[in-house]
Structure 1
Amino acid sequence: MLLQLDLRSLVSRRSLAAACVFLALAAVVVGIAGRQVRFALGGLEDARPIWLWVAAFCFVGSLLASSSVWRSALALCGGRLTRSDAAARYGVGSLVNSLAPIRIGEAVRLTLFARRLEGEDRAWRMGGVFAVIAAMRLIVFGVIVASAAAVGAVPLRFVFIVGCVGVVTAVVALATRNRTPRNHVAHLLDAVRELGRTPAAGARVAGWIAVSTGARFLGATAVAAGLGVPSPVLAALIILPALDLAGLIPLSGNLGITSGAVAMALQAHGVGLQQALATGIAFHAVETAAGIACGSAGVFMLGTRKRVFVLAASGAAACIAAAFCATVLVPLA
């Protein structure tokens, strides 16, 4: 089924007003902190492009794995869709998160994926799917926090909090696995009930989350290596928990949440101000570019014919190859 995009319905007067306010705030921030921004950008001059390209491909891989997370979680409620369809729907949400001043990409994803559920109470069941994804992400996040706590990067109390969430999720899944929903609200636990019946399905969701997180970890390591940060692997262990905590703020990374979180986390562990700011800006720029690329491809896949998409993908691949040659191969010649 093709997704018909109505630009007038997507771009309302309120959206335009919000965009104008966002641009005004951005201009004020640049005006006030212009010196610090120029100081940070100066640290990007020595960045090694090859590592930033590695990071970009890792971030794309992380997004694709995340789309499989949603696909596997949707299957808990009987939703069926191909990997390419899931990647397209997830990518559109990434595009919205990259461009909108407020993080509404998750709402877009919920709407797009819910269309693949059959029957009534789709909204309630999709809410349960999202709850399962959030709980599984928090459990995997606990593994990262435990690793970071082992090297003294984050306080150990976060591990206890995440462990409690995992225990609560398991208890709810086992307690509701044999219950039949008797009202609309009860369908909110459909996905959780299926976890209790088929633990392998939950393991599949957690596995894809681990793959996605691992790819993002490699991307963070590559960015740190490209900016010359000492011990890039340790830096990535510091960056990821900071980003996950910053992700709780419902604002887009366009407002500096991502780059600011990275810079503050690195500076707190002895990295110089200029290098920390440059790493944060580079991380945000590369990850945003990956999100926009995947989201644009998703819009083409959902809203155009297959032949047009193939032509567009071929052109995009040629542009990427040209950019890689210009930034990596030509300087080596």
Structure 2
Amino acid sequence: MEKVTIKDIVEKFDLEILAGEEGIHRKIPTSDISRPGIEIAGYFNFYPVKRVQLLGRTELTFLEHMDPIVKKERMDKLCTYDTPGIIITRGMEPPQELIDEAEKVGLPLLRSSLSTTRLSSSLTTYLESQMAPTTAIHGVLVDIYGVGVLITGNSGVGKSETALDLVRRGHRLVADDSVEIRQDTEGTLIGSSPELIQHLLEIRGLGIINVMTLFGAGAVRPYKRIVLCVNLELWDQKKAYDRLGLEEEKMKIIDTDITKLTVPVRPGRNLAVIIEVAAMNFRLKRLGYDAAQEFTKRLSNVIEEGDHDDFH
């Protein structure tokens, strides 16, 4: 899991540092955010210390009317060594007691001009995406008719050449060779390319080509949700391949299962067309039409009619 520090959110959200700058490298262990209103009112029994704390207009105006001794005691309890940071929203002025206590424990006290709700929402989204589980898979990711297709297979089986063919047919390359995948929410896998090899394809015999320079900006995209995996493998005569498409194989990436198809490779098979059709067929299935099921139904009808004729 990628760790985010206070420094990262200071840069991302253009936050002003009011106190506790020495704690700028504190790690943020959770994407949950806390608005410690009930704690400021004196109830610290369940204070979520490990969360970023947001203080908005409500909390700050409440503090204004508090006895200075009580206020100092509450601020002392609010500023712990485990708390990543405290953010004041709407560009408001924090009480001096809070500045002093934050400085004392080296706790970053930050300020944003955004409203509390808006900052809370943007910050949660940012932290969740940064802390999402990630992995990298050897393969190629292409967007085919809006379907994110991950093409896998042993080295030299023809993944990059197939991707080049698909790009020539108007589809969009996301990543070649290494696909970085993060699981955003349960069941959503987002694939992208490592920055170093973005827009590049490695074709044996040709070397490295830049897809964006050759085919234009419409031939690439930065990331895509992965819903289908096509595994290319050299044709094995001893192996029985699924000819009807009734068996649906699954592949697990992080905690998410996606549909996996195994396509045998041999000379004369146009892999780009096969994968293109696989993507279209996958879309049709999601819309509720399954050609294999349809064929099975027709076959049953023909058999039933045959039996009926025999009976007569």
**TM-score bucket of the superposed structures, by smaller chain:** under 0.3
If each structure's helix is expressed as a fraction of its own residues, which one has the higher value?
A: 1
TM-score normalised by length of structure 2? 0.21
Q: Which structure has the greater CA radius of gyration? A: 2
TM-score by structure 1 length?
0.20
With a CA cutoff of 8 Å and minimum separation of 6, indicate the structure with the bigger relative contact order: 1
